[in-house]
Amino acid sequence: MKLHTNLNRVIGIRSQMLYGHFIEHFHRQIYGGVYDPGSPLADEDGFRTDVIEAMKKIKVPILRWPGGCFVSSYHWKAAVGKERQPFFDKAWRVEDPNTFGTDEYIRLCRKIGCEPYICTNAGTGTAEEMSDWVEYCNLREEGRYARWRIANGYEEPHKVRYWSIGNENYGYWEIGAKPSGEWGRLVKESAKMIKHVDPTTELSAAALTDIHWNLELLEESGDFLDWISIHEYWDGIHQTNDYADYEQVMAYTHDIGHSIREVRGLLEALKLEKKIRIAFDEWNLRGWYHPNVHTVRQGITKEEYLYPRDKNDDNTEYTMADAVFTACFLNELNRNCDIVGMANFAPIVNTRGCIFTHSEGIVLRSTYHVFDLYVNYLGDVVLDTWSEEMPTLEVTSKKGEKLVIDALDLVVTKWSDRPGIALAVVNKDPDRTHSITLPLEVSGSRVMKYTVRGNSIESYNDVDHEEVRIEKTEPGMYEEGMEIMLEAHSINVIQIV
Ligand code: AHR
């Protein structure tokens, strides 16, 4: 494939928040994941130091919490201070120990060095409860909630800038789900109260790609919003856990950016694209496995809805399919960085996350190395590119559709603070090596290639088993028209510096 680019045709400077993450009170993400006071690997605050270090290495820029479905019946006031009781989490139908609340979450964010991003309860919660939360976190000492924070030992405000009003309140599965008209009004009233407490906050609201829902939401509350929140899990295996295989996953990469395109179109039609940005604040190839949890079938047992959740933590299932897909979506986020300002991989620890914890340490799954590659080796200025002679791949989707897709997926970047360019090029082909002819007019001489791949499409990482990592090679000095080989099922960052 011949690649063309123009160093002066800039799509945008991508926010580092495109590489954000999400953590929820679900299964072992918090308890037994990042927060494990009983572990010998925990620090004085109960956080797993190995997990913190792994999160710092991929420079987690923002961490969304506490949910997800969990938040739609969560009351933050019961989870601060010294007098706390375990509570029954009605979303996931399990007792929450309630030892991890707002103050512990802020401590976690400070240790990682990331922005907090709190999703509020718009299910059973109220505009007042949400704005009280902002008082607790952001007012210095005015009013009972800021004084409560001080009494709990936090003299300085938590300075939470990013807040989401609700989580998927459009969905039948969500506690406190609402029709669009009611939703727009609740968002407006909640946003009004939050902004009255702290006008420096940036607010998002739960939305989706449905034009009618979003139209009503934005007409009612667009003036109060800075973000619109959308989610996507392509392999929807919440009930079945029947993983799409490599070929089926490649089919998911076809039109991978449709949600962004649809929401962008609506924002532009409403002339809001300069005011409201997209927060893709939950995404992952794989839906989380939690069968039967949203059903109300009489007499359903924990064997049917609770115990199967352990199957999310089978590391052998997170292969090059997950890594290749993740890279393709990160490319799509970069290509749309003019309107997508935040994205949160869901989740970061355990379940479908890129970091798995066990009693003696952690496993960095294949997707972790993709984040490492993009965060640490790619530029921040995204350039316009076009290509000739793109190789193709014939695949069959999980639904049996036959598709012809591009075999390569790429984005070209440069740095805002130094010369050179960096290309992220994904070879989706399971079997064939492909080549790319580098663009002309590039300042830089040395070519270095950083590649994430395993021996096969089924390669994975597990305890005492590492197949997928970043490998560095140096193809040599740059020459115009230089050809670089891309191995099958690989994710590559090629730097010309
Ligand atoms: O499967 C996890 C759930 O997916 C999250 O809690 C929710 O936000 C989304 O529906």
Determine the pLDDT at residue 18: 98
- Under 8 Å between Cβ of 170 and 177: yes
Q: Model-level pTM?
A: 0.97
Output 298 or 381, whichever has higher pLDDT.
Answer: 381
Ligand 1 pocket mutation pick from 29, 117, 119, 167 by most atoms within 8 angstroms of CB: 167
Burial call 141-152: b when 16+ CB within 10 Å, e when fewer: eeeebbebbeee
User: Is 289 touching ligand 1 by the criterion CB < 6 Å?
Assistant: no
pLDDT in tens, 197-207: 999 999 999 99
Percent of the chain with pLDDT over 70: 99
* Nearest residue to 84 via CA among 64, 104, 65: 104
- Under 8 Å between Cβ of 350 and 445: no
* Nearest residue to 322 via CA among 460, 429, 455: 460
Atom of ligand 1 nearest to the CA of 173: 10
Query: 227: CA distance to ligand 1 center in Å?
Result: 19
Determine the pLDDT at residue 443: 60
Residues with catalytic roles: 168, 282
| Radius of gyration in angstroms for the set of CA atoms belonging to the chain, rounded to a whole number | 23
pLDDT in tens, 305-338: 999 999 999 999 999 999 999 999 999 999 999 9
